[in-house]
Amino acid sequence: MKAQPKASHFVNGDWLEDTAGAPIEVIYPGTGEVIARLHAATPAVLEAAIAGAVAAQADWGRRRPIERARVLMKAVEIIRARGEELALLETLDTGKPIQETRVADWPSGADALEYFAGLAPTVTGETIPLGGDFAYTIREPLGVCAGIGAWNYPSQIACWKAAPALALGNAMVFKPSEVTPLGALKLAEILIEAGMPAGLFNVVQGRGAVGAALATDSRIAKVSLTGSVPTGAKVYAAAAAGMKHVTMELGGKSPLIVFDDADLDSAVGAAMLGNFYSSGQICSNGTRVFVQRSVKEAFLSRLAARTAKIVAGDPLAEDTQFGPLVSAAQHEKVLGYIERAKAEGARLVCGGSAGNEGPLFVQPTVFADVTDTMTLAREEVFGPVMAVLDFETEEEVIARANGTEFGLAAGVFTADLARGHRVIGQLAAGTCWINAYNLTPVEMPFGAVKASGLGRENSRAAVEHYTQVKAVYVGTGPVDSPY
């Protein structure tokens, strides 16, 4: 088999198998071929992973941050040196074109490890003068964190969670999506090779039940989930019962607003990136493209012309720009949304059917004349389906853009920067762009408002979510007591 790992799990610094766990078949979405066979974690595997993490964290959390940083920097070096091999595995696991996985997935993960390695030694507390007495604060690790991943950026998600967790002195038990379980195992192996003590980053496979077991275990201090809104609600509720910290990176239906003074070619390019990159399987995608009416037809004709030139095909081919969806279930779901958009009266501009490059392809699809009440404007499709809506005024588009339960991302294209800032200031979204879309450098906080989640990944903001403050009052004189 093309990508069979040595075992299903990586626990306490080594591969671990337990064939009693439910089978998980990994398919290469490019062809539908089975590339690995794994097993879900049994209670014994989970116990080994959590107990190992608890034991390893006690020492790791007390080490000098710069020592922890050195290990992460070594891992960065290994990831960059093995870029091609890792990109290939990511393409096999997800079906995303090798063009993308070479530049986006592991490279972004390596950036996160590098950033938090650099940041960790700078994380300090404060001293609070109290007129003779004083207090100080310490930022302590939380303990053992659970990471639960989605299937669209499996290795990036593993790195984005592991990097701040480990740099700041925590241990992690990570459960990848059952659809794309391979990349996280590589990360675990690389961290050991880089000198990380055993037990600090464990990977256990499984479906929702394994994630739920992590979210409810009393030894887990925090749950960081990347997934859909319904899963987020369940995991948040389970974590709340145990008073655990959470980071929730969930779904979206984000607005991308194009005003009539915008550089239209840039706006079209951004709308395509924000709907067709990774075959549209990106949480922050600008899937409601609001175009000001006076430029709507010009926007649509340039969009259709450029979309027609997208090169779809074998994800492993050098020139392929557009791959299949990740699974048969996702393929069926996306085609269902396309049929529904047609039935509800949206105007099909291009695409609109399954692609003929392989079993899981869907054509890059654009619908125009979409209205706010159509299903396509309300629900997350998570596929290459762009909804174009039109608007007249700034006030109107702000209200309509905010008329959703989601609040992950938003974008504005305009030549008038004052308007850009004014509009972004009124949009309910955690991650925003002006005259750009979907760029997520590690230096910038990434996260959501409303139903799309809470907490922030990347940047200094993540420190808040992987540490807790201990406050220490220091008395310097006799104790003043009425008794």
Measure the CA–CA gap between 258 and 420, rounded to whole angstroms.
10
* 150 labeled binding residue: yes
Q: Which two tokens stand for residue 281?
A: 């399987």
By C-beta, is 411 or 453 nearer to ligand NAD?
453
CB of 325 to ligand NAD, least distance (A): 11
Strand partners, 17: none
Measure the CA–CA gap between 466 and 93, rounded to whole angstroms.
29
Nearest one of 122, 6, 135 to 476, comparing CA atoms: 135
Report the site for ligand NAD in 371-390 (rule: CB under 6 A).
380, 382
In sequence order, what are the residues at sequence separation of 6 or more whose Cβ sits closer than 8 angstroms to the Cβ of residue 482? none
Contact region with ligand NAD (CB under 6 A), list: 197-205, 228-236, 288-296, 349-357 = 228-236
Residue 212 found at the interface with ligand NAD (CB under 6 A): yes
Determine which residue in the list 149, 255, 280, 313 makes contact with ligand NAD, applying CB under 6 A: 149
* 283 labeled binding residue: yes
Determine which residue in the list 97, 183, 199, 251 makes contact with ligand NAD, applying CB under 6 A: 251
Determine which residue in the list 226, 278, 287, 365 makes contact with ligand NAD, applying CB under 6 A: 226
Distances in Å between the Cα of 135 and the Cα atoms of 127, 377, 460, 476 are 6, 52, 24, 11
Quick note: the x/- pattern for ligand NAD over 168-207, rule CB under 6 A, is -------x-xx----------------------------x
Q: Number of residues interacting with ligand NAD: please give it, by CB under 6 A.
A: 29
Contact region with ligand NAD (CB under 6 A), list: 144-152, 268-276, 358-366, 388-396 = 144-152
* 279 labeled binding residue: no
* 6 labeled binding residue: no
Active site residue 161: yes
Dihedral pair phi/psi, residue 62, rounded to 5°:
-95, -5
Q: Of residues 145, 159, 283, 350, which has the active-site annotation?
A: 283
Residue 458 found at the interface with ligand NAD (CB under 6 A): no
* 155 labeled binding residue: no
Q: Which two tokens stand for residue 146?
A: 């659970």
Contact call for residues 255 and 290 (beta carbons, < 8 A): yes
Q: Which two tokens stand for residue 207?
A: 């479906």
Cα end-to-end span (Å), the chain: 76
Q: Give the β-pairing of 14-16 and 9-11.
A: antiparallel
By C-beta, is 46 or 235 nearer to ligand NAD?
235
Distances in Å between the Cα of 355 and the Cα atoms of 305, 323, 325, 352, 385 are 18, 10, 10, 9, 13
Strand partners, 453: 249
Active site residue 249: yes
Q: Residue numbers of the site for ligand NAD (CB under 6 A)?
A: 148-152, 175, 177-178, 207-208, 211-212, 215, 226-228, 231, 234-235, 249-252, 283, 380, 382, 408, 448, 453
Residue numbering of the annotated binding site for K(+): 27, 93, 450, 453
Task: Report the catalytic residues.
Answer: 161, 249, 283, 457
